[in-house]
Structure 1
Amino acid sequence: MHENTPSIAIDGARKSRGHMTKSRIRLTIAIAMVVFAVVAIRLVMLATVQVDDVTLGQARPALTATRPALLDRNGSPLAIDIQVPSLFAEPRRIIDVDEAVEALSAEFPTMDRKWLRERLDGDEGFVWLKRELTPQQKERILRLGIPGIDFVSESRRFYPGGNVAAHILGAVNVDNVGIAGLERHLDQREVALLQDLGFARDRSLQPVELSIDLRVQHAMHRELEDALTRYQAIAAAGVMMNVQTGEIVALVSLPDFDPNMPAGALEEGRINRITAGKFELGSTLKPITAAAALDSGLVQITDEFDATKPVQFGRFRIGDFHAKKRVLSLPEVIKYSSNIGTIKMMQAMGKERFRAFLTNVGMDGSPVIELPEKTQSQIKDKFSEVGAATASFGHGLSITPLQLLTAYAALVNGGDLIAPTLLPRDRIAALANSKKVINERTSDQIRYLLRLNAIEGSGRKAAPDGYRVGGKTGTAEKVVDGKYSDDKLLNVFASAFPMDAPQYAMVILVDEPKKEDERSGHTAAWNAGAVTGRIIERVAPMLGIVPNLDPELDAQLVPVELR
């Protein structure tokens, strides 16, 4: 019996150790199961977290709202939407805030770490971290594998032409909402409604075609950029319109900005001078005064006016810049840009009729156009004798260049005042909402006067051979500290072409130009007129207007009374 005792003890020890081993295995398995259960519960919790639908007051689905493409009249893209990734975080899903801050700070060194930590260390379901990243940035961040960090695709507006049509198109903000130009105009109408209804999310809207011709727009932009350098001007602007339909085919105002970086629009001087700037436009108003006088029936194309000496108004005397000091025929009044003759034309019909005519041709209020950036003209409701006199040749009243263009279009198209538009419009639609402001006979006479000035007067530099351009210069002294300045000029040329069958009108403005060289001058003929000629020479062929040097075309413009 005693011999078996050691064997029994050994067996007991073995059994005891086996029980302990099994208990340890069971405990290990139980602990592992608890750990796995905790992890599984956490994963389920994270998977079921609902991301907030609203951030900064905006519904998340609206973040991907799209805008319609904007096309020129030939289908070339002016503004399109592209999809870009934007980075957001769901703080309640982030496991290690410190790790996330370190990783993201390495990718975005300029991002404030304190701000980033405050964004990530919370219980929100959605916070923005960075908008509009590149695909490469998205790829690098995805490789970091940070829980609670993700991307959403947003629509970003892209303007392929950059600055070329900046003041027409305007710009959008980071949320793809229009803040200027046509982009803002569209948001005030159908685009905003479609987005609110959900029809503009994650899908393409029907493109919006504009009346702009990108070829003409580009040519005008290039020539005006050249003018800034050539004449050392502080600004330049231009606009061209189809006189039969009111369609704007080009509009440029320099300095401008890149809509892809809209903050540049806030820099000083980058306003749209065509619609949001008002100026004294000088002698470009003289053909309008002539049209008012001729259409009243109180002045005839054959009339003559004594310009031998200045006109006296009390202590004020108004004379001519290039005084002829003789009697001038009405065509000579325009050809020589006589202030004296223009005043006497206005006086022949009366200042009340003249003031009413300015209203009739759209000079009051702000210009009619789809752009939000507009200003009100400045014209006194009633003219004094001297006020009417100075207004007759474009001084003492301020209007926008677009209002001048609209009036010129009516002067040459047969007398129909048609509101300008940046959207396509045919002749029938244009006439349906037009207003007759002068009769056809007066329009024919004005076409002759404008063409005469381009052939023999101040418009010669604006009339390239064969395109039958007609127009009028305007050299206005700018007001500085309440007084007219002798050396700060605003120069304008208003034109139309071809005068035998007018299709387009244009206004070009050069602000504070210097002489190009010692042989040149600084009045409008030398700069605004010359720019007009260069633009027409470039764009007329694009618009289907071919040169024609037949002298009979000009001969046919001469009124019967003067033949």
Structure 2
Amino acid sequence: MSFLSRIMVLKSRAHFNTGGRGSAPSAGASFQGTRKKKSAQAKNRVGLLIAGFTVFYCVIGGRLVQYGMAEPLTTSSILPPDRLLASRPDLVDRNGEVLATDIRTVSLFAEPHKIVDADEVIEKLSTVLHDLDVKGTYSKLKSNSRFQWLRRQLTPKQQSQILALGIPGIGFRPEKRRFYPGGPTAAHVVGYVNIDNRGVAGMERYVDNQGLADLAAVGMTSSQPLEPVKLSIDVRVQAIVREVVTTAIQKFQALGAGGVVMDAHTGEILAMVSVPDFDPNNPAEGGEEGWLNRMSNGTFEMGSTFKSFTVAMGLDDGKMNLQSTFDARFPIRIGGFTIKDFHGKGRVLSVPEIFQYSSNIGTAKIADAVGIEGHKAFLEKLGLLTKMKTELPEVAQPSQPRTWKKINSITISFGHGVSTTPLQTAVAGAALLNGGKYIPPTFLPRSREEADQIATQVLKPTTSRDMRFLFEWNGVNGSGRNARVPGFNVGGKTGTADKVVNGRYAHDKNFNAFLAGFPMDNPRYVVLTFIDEPKTDKGNGAALAGTSAAPMVKDIISRSAAILGVKPKFGKDGSALLVSY
């Protein structure tokens, strides 16, 4: 064997010899060691991969938890999409007619960091949005924010026209807009919402106060339609009252006017109007005069309508009855003031005559017989001196003297010295006619059984019976004649109050009201109208309640009585007269 061949053999033996020094070579042991080494390397690699993926997914999970717990970032005035599309419940009248509903719309926004040429954007948008605020829009487009509203609630036509302009950096976001099919018909009852579809006034605000606003604040509202909220008003009667009131304010060139129709036994408000008013679809056009709800949020001295409560107080206190008489021959002088009658008879008057002739002297003597504390307590029972409780948020606090003295009690007896809301006066009037029960007013449906559970007996039933007689007596023989409607037996009491101007009563500026009920044999409804500073037909002087407020009641009842389900009665026994032609 050559030298080279021997070297190759020795190398081959050395390769397979894995034993210790002096040990015999073993081929099986050599292969077993190589296999273990490769297996260990593979396990190490897999372990490294598992550890790497574990760390990677832990980082991702941690970031997700961090993002989930972080507060949402407020960018400009943008709201989360689910809140932008959150539904409000429809408002419907007692018959299911829609008063307020949601419609889908879009709003225009810009991302200023993507805007290249702000001037070009404004120039193009102005071709579609002709009333665009150029200066304000330019400031938004040049700001450092990443989102800015440019125009809320676009029409479909405006959206398509802006899309056609192809402006980069602007877009559209879906929203919901509140729509009021009746416009101003029930403005002060329904109220309105702001640009973000949140209730601002009326029953819209009431709905938000019942929890809808809180749910929206935490993002728990839904885009799904909600159950409608049914109101107590009848939109047909509401439209009639508004037309009558609007006509009166134009006819008498008055500052304001209003009317309410109320169920005397349940407290439900079937119609309530205050004019000037506004269109809830565009409330900004109404201005402050239109926003004021004079029926529930305006306080006035209600004049001689308060004599109804003074007479009821005397009857209920037992100080007198319908056959009692009071000396009304001479004026009352007290505290530097002289109390006299507008159309004095100069003789002793019975209680029905005091009511019929609206005697200030006779009414003052009734109040004096009851006393100051009894007078104040009686008006408090009728809710005339405290803030009225109802669903409508716009309710004013009545005003009264800080300390009641005898002069205060006397003047308040005929409607001067206490200012209250017309709606409160109607609610108190219902207690005079419905058997003596005070029932808080409501703008939601209420059954008679539900009303009886919350009613408070404030008058004796006999007192209510006597007051029904006096209302009808005045309707037939007194200042309520202009409110009579054939077949419906309307009774009531006028109130002509001089307004206070610069601390003095102005005889040429009146606040006139008429408090009525019908049918007087079994009163079902109370109607109150008022008109602020009416002028005579000739445009000078002040019109009286009998010629301004009372005819408004007549028009309302004659047009709405059938809708309210009141059947007319004719003839002495109430049966219909049969006439042959």
Shorter-chain TM-score bucket reads: 0.7 to 0.9
Change (3 A) 1:344 1:99: closer
Q: Deviations over 1:423-454 (max 9, x none)?
A: 11111111211111001111000000001000
Distance in 2, Cα, partners of 1:224 & 1:112: 38
1:335 pairs with 2:350:
no
Change (3 A) 1:118 1:264: closer
Structure 2 residue corresponding to 1:219, chosen from 227, 240, 244: 240
Q: 1:299·1:349 contact (CA, 8 Å) conserved in 2?
A: no
Q: Deviations over 1:325-346 (max 9, x none)?
A: 1111111110111111111222
Alpha-carbon offset, residue 239 of structure 1: 1.2
Matched with 1:66 is 87
Q: 2:535·2:541 contact (CA, 8 Å) conserved in 1?
A: no
Q: Unaligned regions of 5+ residues in structure 1, if any?
A: 1-50, 555-563
Structure 2 residue corresponding to 1:56, chosen from 69, 77, 92: 77
Q: What is the letter of the counterpart of residue 549 of structure 2?
A: A
Distance in 2, Cα, partners of 1:175 & 1:427: 38
Matched with 1:48 is none
1:351 pairs with 2:346:
no
- The residue correspondences of 1:159-308 to structure 2 (distance < 5 A) are 159-196=180-217, 198-268=219-289, 270-308=291-329
Q: What is the letter of the counterpart of residue 175 of structure 2?
A: E
Matched with 2:63 is none
DSSP-derived class of the 1:131 partner = strand
Change (3 A) 1:269 1:92: closer
How many residues are paired up?
Answer: 504
Matched with 2:452 is 431
Q: Deviations over 1:31-57 (max 9, x none)?
A: xxxxxxxxxxxxxxxxxxxx9774426
Q: 1:66·1:201 contact (CA, 8 Å) conserved in 2?
A: yes
Q: What is the letter of the counterpart of residue 516 of structure 1?
A: D
Change (3 A) 1:125 1:496: same
Q: 1:254·1:270 contact (CA, 8 Å) conserved in 2?
A: no
Structure 1 residue corresponding to 2:331, chosen from 292, 310, 313: 310
Change (3 A) 1:522 1:94: closer
Matched with 1:551 is 572
Q: What is the letter of the counterpart of residue 317 of structure 1?
A: T
1:391 pairs with 2:412:
yes
Change (3 A) 1:175 1:451: same
1:486 pairs with 2:471:
no
DSSP-derived class of the 1:308 partner = coil
Change (3 A) 1:553 1:415: farther
DSSP-derived class of the 1:240 partner = strand
Q: What is the letter of the counterpart of residue 201 of structure 2?
A: A
Q: 1:52·1:125 contact (CA, 8 Å) conserved in 2?
A: no
Q: 2:327·2:348 contact (CA, 8 Å) conserved in 1?
A: yes
1:107 pairs with 2:128:
yes
Matched with 2:554 is 533
Distance in 2, Cα, partners of 1:109 & 1:313: 67
Q: What is the letter of the counterpart of residue 380 of structure 1?
A: P
Q: Unaligned regions of 5+ residues in structure 2, if any?
A: 1-71, 576-581
Matched with 2:98 is 77
Distance in 1, Cα, partners of 2:516 & 2:355: 14
Distance in 2, Cα, partners of 1:535 & 1:461: 12
Q: 1:85·1:151 contact (CA, 8 Å) conserved in 2?
A: yes
Q: 2:436·2:459 contact (CA, 8 Å) conserved in 1?
A: yes
1:368 pairs with 2:384:
no
Distance in 1, Cα, partners of 2:480 & 2:513: 11
1:145 pairs with 2:166:
yes
Q: What RMSD in Å do the two structures reach over aligned CA positions?
A: 2.3
Matched with 1:20 is none
Q: Deviations over 1:8-50 (max 9, x none)?
A: xxxxxxxxxxxxxxxxxxxxxxxxxxxxxxxxxxxxxxxxxxx
Matched with 1:509 is 530
Once structures 1 and 2 are overlaid, which stretch shifts more, 55-64 or 219-228?
Answer: 55-64
Q: 1:414·1:440 contact (CA, 8 Å) conserved in 2?
A: yes
* TM-score between both structures, scaled by the size of structure 1: 0.85
DSSP-derived class of the 2:527 partner = strand
Alpha-carbon offset, residue 532 of structure 1: 0.7
Q: 2:380·2:386 contact (CA, 8 Å) conserved in 1?
A: no
Once structures 1 and 2 are overlaid, which stretch shifts more, 447-456 or 327-336?
Answer: 327-336
Q: What is the letter of the counterpart of residue 490 of structure 1?
A: F
Q: What is the letter of the counterpart of residue 150 of structure 1?
A: G
Alpha-carbon offset, residue 321 of structure 1: 0.9
DSSP-derived class of the 2:498 partner = strand
Change (3 A) 1:265 1:109: closer
Distance in 2, Cα, partners of 1:394 & 1:523: 15
Q: What is the letter of the counterpart of residue 202 of structure 1?
A: S
Alpha-carbon offset, residue 205 of structure 1: 1.3
Please say which structure displays the higher CA radius of gyration.
Answer: 2
Q: 2:277·2:289 contact (CA, 8 Å) conserved in 1?
A: no
Alpha-carbon offset, residue 69 of structure 1: 0.8
Q: 1:172·1:262 contact (CA, 8 Å) conserved in 2?
A: no
Alpha-carbon offset, residue 193 of structure 1: 3.1
DSSP-derived class of the 1:143 partner = helix
Distance in 1, Cα, partners of 2:122 & 2:440: 57
Distance in 2, Cα, partners of 1:159 & 1:386: 49
Alpha-carbon offset, residue 498 of structure 1: 0.9
Q: Deviations over 1:292-340 (max 9, x none)?
A: 1111112122111111222232543211111111111111110111111
Distance in 2, Cα, partners of 1:527 & 1:114: 51
Q: 2:76·2:145 contact (CA, 8 Å) conserved in 1?
A: no
